[in-house]
Amino acid sequence: MHRPIVILNPAAKGEKAGQMQRRIEALHPKPVIRLTAGPGDAEALAERAVEQGYTTIIAAGGDGTVNEVVNGMAGSDASLGLLPSGTMNVFATELGLPPDLAACWKVIQEGHTRLVDLPKVNDQHFVQLAGVGFDAQIVLETERDFRKNFGPLSYLVVAAQIAARTPPRLRVELPNGTTYQGSFVLIGNGRHYGGPFVFFKNAKIDDRKLDVMVFGKTGHIDILRYLQGIFFGDPGAMKDVDYFQTSKLQISCDTKVPLEVDGELAGFLPAHFSIARKKLRVFTPQA
């Protein structure tokens, strides 16, 4: 089936969502549009699209929508297109997509695709980033409506509250027997984190490697120092931050610790991470 299908998350609600839908409906050639109504819908719609024979499946939304669509189409031969329109569009930034909807549609129409790696934690795929501990706790405690209204500022408000608590002690284990301990862990499949910030400097989305940062210390001042490094410096250069690459790892803890993938809560520890080489085909600008 050559006609593309767009899975649209109208998270903005109201007039803004209506404008987005009308803009997509005006695209040429006109795509099939399916709207999501809540969490899990995008994954179900993508899975159904694969069953119906669609070969181009387009996620219109933020990283959370992309994550669901990818989980619905994983294992198929369909190609993923992006129309970034969410609070966070980090994967689109990683792929070098333009910020304009019409320009992104042109990228899809030009038909240039690239095979990228597909990471997985437990039974869930993700495309860009996973976090255990601190940033996952922020996602857990930040209400969806608060995130929609205030964007990145909402995370900073909750982060300040969480930073005042005693963080958990995480155990990170690699296949070769190497172990690390830390207060929180970030796992990336690309260079970017939280938007335009280049975070994992050695990362490539097609090298079958996960880039991992283990933040070692657990004091309140340390957490604030790490945050400063994340947003204003080079956290990988800190002496108490371990930065390495691996194809597999396990993370566990004696207490209940949340896990997030692509900015959405994905359960709690223990967690087993792996990555499959070049298993996702995405539309990208030509080099």
CATH of the domain at 67: 3.40.50.10330
Structural domain tally of the chain? 2
Helices (H), 1-100: 14-25, 41-51, 63-73, 90-94
- Is residue 123, in this structure, part of any structural domain at all? no
- The answer on 248 and 219 residing in a single domain is yes
- End of a domain among 54, 84, 111? 111
Asked if pLDDT for residue 14 goes beyond 60, the answer is no
Q: In whole numbers, what is the pLDDT of the chain averaged over residues?
A: 88
Q: 249 — phi, psi (to 5°)?
A: -165, 160
- Is residue 287, in this structure, part of any structural domain at all? no
- The answer on 148 and 71 residing in a single domain is no
Asked if pLDDT for residue 28 goes beyond 80, the answer is no
Query: pTM here?
Result: 0.89
- Is residue 29, in this structure, part of any structural domain at all? yes
DSSP assignment of 152-184 equals HHHHHHHHHHHTTSPPP-EEEE-TTS-EEEESE
Q: Are 226 and 194 in contact (CB under 8 A)?
A: no
Confidence (pLDDT) at 220: 67
- The answer on 167 and 268 residing in a single domain is yes
Provide the pairing of β-strand 129-132 with 258-261.
antiparallel
- Is residue 284, in this structure, part of any structural domain at all? no
- The answer on 208 and 88 residing in a single domain is no
- End of a domain among 111, 141, 168? 111
- The answer on 249 and 180 residing in a single domain is yes
Provide the pairing of β-strand 197-198 with 210-215.
unpaired
Higher pLDDT, 210 or 31: 210
Confidence (pLDDT) at 151: 55
- The answer on 144 and 22 residing in a single domain is no
**pLDDT tens track for 63-82:** 999 999 999 999 999 999 99
- The answer on 134 and 54 residing in a single domain is no
- The answer on 212 and 106 residing in a single domain is no
Owning domain of residue 36: 5-111
Of 14, 99, 108, 102, which is closest to residue 62 (Cα–Cα)?
99
- The answer on 172 and 270 residing in a single domain is yes
- What share of the chain in percent tops pLDDT 90? 61
- The answer on 142 and 92 residing in a single domain is no
**pLDDT tens track for 208-238:** 999 999 988 756 677 677 777 766 767 767 7
- Is residue 259, in this structure, part of any structural domain at all? yes
In whole angstroms, what is the distance from residue 127 CA to residue 212 CA?
15
- Is residue 282, in this structure, part of any structural domain at all? no
